[in-house]
Amino acid sequence: AQSVAQPEDQVNVAEGNPLTVKCTYSVSGNPYLFWYVQYPNRGLQFLLKYITGDNLVKGSYGFEAEFNKSQTSFHLKKPSALVSDSALYFCAVSDYKLSFGAGTTVTVRA
């Protein structure tokens, strides 16, 4: 069975500071990992994915994620957060279907 865990319900950072949203996964075989973002009253939007290759994946809106096989982690990062990054972030793993974590609410204060 596949699963992901997002250990933090909330992350609060000041604008301009680095942002990290944590995710760990469990899957048999090669993992396909995703990050999605949900803004208020909107559907989920794809940010980035890891399939294979370089462990540092770059995505939309300046986000990147680091895949670490030994730690089974796929943390989302942004070097300098913006107030507009405030949203709900979901990590997901895909085998034959997508399985989502519980989500992390990010609040970036001005």
Residues that bind other proteins in the complex, under the rule CB under 8 A: 6, 9, 32, 34, 36, 41-46, 49, 51, 90, 94-103
> Whole-angstrom Cα distance, residue 98 to residue 88?
17
Rounded (5°) CA angle 82-14-22: 80
Q: How far is the CB of 5 from other proteins (least distance, A)?
A: 10
| Shortest distance (Å) from residue 53 CB to other proteins | 12
Strand partners, 67: 74
Nearer to other proteins, 9 or 54 (CB): 9
Backbone angles phi, psi at 83, to 5 degrees: -55, -35
Judged by beta carbon, residue 20 or residue 94, the one nearer other proteins is 94
Secondary element (H or E) of residue 107:
strand 104-109
In the numeric block, which tokens belong to residue 3? 């699963």
Instruction: Decide whether 41 or 70 has the Cβ nearer to other proteins.
Output: 41
62 vs 27: CA distance, rounded Å = 27
Query: Please, which residue, 66 or 95, has the CB nearer to other proteins?
Result: 95
Give least dist CB 33 to other proteins, A.
Answer: 9
